[in-house]
Chain A
Amino acid sequence: MSTNTTYLIRGAKPLGTEVTDILIHEGTIAALGAGAATHQLAAEATIIEAAGQIALPGMVDLHTHLREPGREDAETVETGTRAAALGGFTSVHAMANSNPVADTAGVVEQVWSLGKRSGWVDVRPVGAVTVGLAGERLSEIGAMADSRAAVRVFSDDGICVFDPLVMRRALEYVKAFDGVIAQHAQEPRLTEGAQMNEGEISAVLGLAGWPAVAEESIIARDVLLAEHVDSRLHICHVSTAGSVEIIRWAKSRGVKVTAEVTPHHLLLTDELVQSYDPVYKVNPPLRRQADVEALRAGLADGTIDIIGTDHAPHPSEAKECEWAAAAMGMTGLETALSVVQHTMIETGLISWADFARITSSAPAAIGRVADQGRELAVGEPANITLVDAEARWIVDPAAMATKGRNSPFKGLELPGKVTHVFFHGHPTVRDGKLDTPRITQES
């Protein structure tokens, strides 16, 4: 590991605009622009040639399943954060549905310290809203907020906080800790045994339907609840056109609601289920093309605030089976940037500056991650991702850092390769390969 902590990135285009040199020293951006190369520190700097590449603020994922503790066969904090770094992330939020569930300060601190020890990205644990994700009693939200993990995002993701009274109480309670409830919107009775989007294709395939209304009715209820108690609500993995409309309406009323969309819901549709290949089984399910269009439009106009990967690795046996028996979920950390570039930037819907907002500054703001999602400016923490936007590559799950081989993008050619990632000034990724983790002093 190099002891040199000074790097000069030459020829990169911050947010895809003007070519600018970036000087990094001791974890922060020391100089930008014409003066960077002639800065007195630049003489000793390691030079990173990045001509034509795009410099972005390190990406922040509000929705990652790292599986540890409990399902280390599917993923560990170490493997999941390696995947995150390779995907251009400098921070991920680890969802609470581990085993044991992250519903106490002990579990969230364990995950937090595993993240520290790994050193590839900031790991921000998400706390469960209810004990054991059972939807009945509030978990120790305050203890988790006050722990070293400083939890601000609370979610029973995987399961909907269905009881309206529990949801109301949770929304109210997190206000004391500047927290946010991230809701997995799924009406449980309407989705009993649900296998895929309910519509023309499920009718033919004979798979039990997961109707759009099961998502939309919960979102409608929860935005009204959030308005009533004046609290922050975040909607995980919005998947339907109707949900986008409800959120747009709620925002127009001033409700403090934010929303996320996954890369896979921006690209894939339920037609893929015709193969019965469980790699396309995910919750919420892949929807219709019209939903994909509405999600892209909602993301472009700001109705949807962020990209959340919902990275959900599974061991191969969980997918090498019949559809109904298969686990739900897809990996996403190492393909997120490419899929968003493909679906949003190459279609002209958003700019790289918008990309920085939806993948970095907005998720950091929702998660209250102070030193992430910052501008690329002198004095700011050097969390920087460099992207070769011209590169194209073919997705090969076997070549990924995540343990999960369940990428629905397998075999697809996608644009955009992450070349370098600086995590607080430390290169975790160089030339598209993992470099070294950033080791910090902590007990």
Chain B
Amino acid sequence: MKHLLSTLDLSRADAIRILDIAEEMAAVGTRQVKKLPALRGRTVVNLFFEDSTRTRISFEAAAKRLSADVINFSAKGSSVSKGESLKDTAQTLQAIGADAVVIRHGASGAPARLAATDWIDAPVVNAGDGTHEHPTQALLDAFTLRTHWSALHGHTSSGSDLAGMRVAIVGDILHSRVARSNLWLLRTLGAEVTMVAPPTLLPHGSNVWPCTISFDLDATLATGVDAVMMLRVQGERMHDSFFPNTREYSRLWGFDDARLAALDATDSGETIIMHPGPMNRGLEISSAAADSPRSTVLAQVANGVAVRMAVLYLLLSGDQPRPAPSDAIRPAGL
């Protein structure tokens, strides 16, 4: 694995390996010394062209627990906001000596571009690009799902997949990188996926996706699902006529108290409720649902650090090219 750009090109074996390593990394989080020396002396750059405090601190914690040095490069207040190009920024990071670049960018494909060009040699981790993908979010969701699924069936999670699990992903699929990354990864791991959304918030062309598509949340819940993943919906979407107003959206596609009560009446907690955060309480998820024992929101956050440790470890260890001869890194003219 040279980069992590998308879950579409993750094999089942790779995905399970990441999750297995993440389990060991999660154990570190329970120790007194929450730090491993594995990436000592390596530099991880968090290159964030979009604000995302939660994703950034998760990657930062992951890198620091592996003893890497972390440089946070935020587009705001930097030369990027003055129009510096992605190429120049990447070349700057190369010159600084970044060993890995974690990039969050508003443009779909920006991480793929970094990986494909010779602007920078370091491994690239996609920390969310436009409306394309957010692979580490999908991995932490899969980790959370696997923990739940193996506990439910009384087997060890390590080495296992999600075969037979039924997952509903609900909300703004069109604009969601989380939905795309989850779909590919959950399918690779053997889960069945139902996408539930208003038709306006499903991408044209998603009819060929390997999932069931539904416009009816209640009907989907009635068929029985093992996990419901609620996606963040921006209220401003109503101004672009994606839905009439937030009230109607919540009533039809939000996980509200009535749906929670209906679920409580049919099972005893086997179905979990997930959300990648940040939540719009009262819009796509009610407070009661977000705070219920079914909610895995905080577990997802904790698992995020472990999964990102596993990803950074995998990208920064193993058959690396030997360091370049010293004259190659000497400034020109010396």
Contact = CB atoms under 8 A, between A and B. Distances in A.
Contact of A206 (B87, B133, B204): B133
B109 A205 contact: yes
A205 B112 CA distance: 11
A277 B112 CA distance: 9
B111 to A, nearest CB: 9
B204 A322 contact: no
Interface string A393-429: 0000000000000000000000000000000000000
Given A203-B203, A204-B180, A277-B116, A321 B87 contact: yes
A288 to B, nearest CB: 10
Interface stretch (B137-145, B160-168, B205-213): B205-213
A322 B86 contact: yes
A202 B130 contact: no
Contact of B204 (A203, A275, A317, A325): A203
17 contacts: A202-B203, A203-B203, A203-B209, A204-B180, A206-B130, A206-B133, A207-B109, A209-B204, A209-B205, A275-B112, A276-B108, A321-B87, A321-B113, A323-B108, A325-B85, A325-B86, A325-B107
A324 interface: yes
B108 A198 contact: no
Interface string A189-209: 000000100111111111111
A200 B106 CA distance: 21
B112 to A, nearest CB: 5
Nearest to B204: A198
Contacts of B146: none
A178 interface: no
B116 A205 contact: no
Contact of B108 (A207, A277, A321): A207
A199 B85 contact: no
Contacts of B132: 205-207
A200 B131 CA distance: 15
Interface residues of B, number: 27
Given A203-B206, A203-B209, A205-B132, A324 B85 contact: no
B315 interface: no
Contacts, number: 79
B107 A275 contact: no
A261 to B, nearest CB: 24
Interface of A: 195, 198-209, 211, 275-277, 317, 320-325
A104 B247 CA distance: 53
B206 A323 contact: no
Contacts of A275: 112, 116
A317 B108 CA distance: 18
B177 A206 contact: yes
A201 B208 CA distance: 10
Nearest to B115: A276
Nearest to A202: B205
A205 B204 CA distance: 12
A322 B107 contact: yes
A405 to B, nearest CB: 14
B109 to A, nearest CB: 3
A247 to B, nearest CB: 24
B204 A324 contact: no
Nearest to B131: A206
B179 to A, nearest CB: 10
Nearest to A316: B87
B204 A211 contact: yes
Contacts of B133: 206
Contacts of B180: 204, 206
A202 B133 CA distance: 13
Contacts of B105: 322
Question: Looking at A200, A205, A277, which has the most chain B CB atoms within 10 Å of its CB?
Answer: A205
B203 A317 contact: no
B310 to A, nearest CB: 25
A206 B208 contact: no
B8 A204 contact: yes
Question: Looking at B106, B204, B205, which has the most chain A CB atoms within 10 Å of its CB?
Answer: B205
A323 B106 CA distance: 11
Nearest to B108: A206
Given A200-B205, A202-B204, A325-B85, 10 more contacts: A198-B205, A199-B205, A206-B132, A207-B130, A208-B131, A209-B203, A275-B116, A276-B108, A323-B109, A325-B86
B110 interface: yes
Given A203-B209, A206-B131, A322-B86, A276 B8 contact: no
Contacts of A200: 205, 208
Question: Looking at A195, A198, A201, A204, which has the most chain B CB atoms within 10 Å of its CB?
Answer: A204
A205 B107 contact: no
A206 B128 CA distance: 11
A38 B139 CA distance: 81
A201 B132 CA distance: 11
Interface string B214-249: 000000000000000000000000000000000000
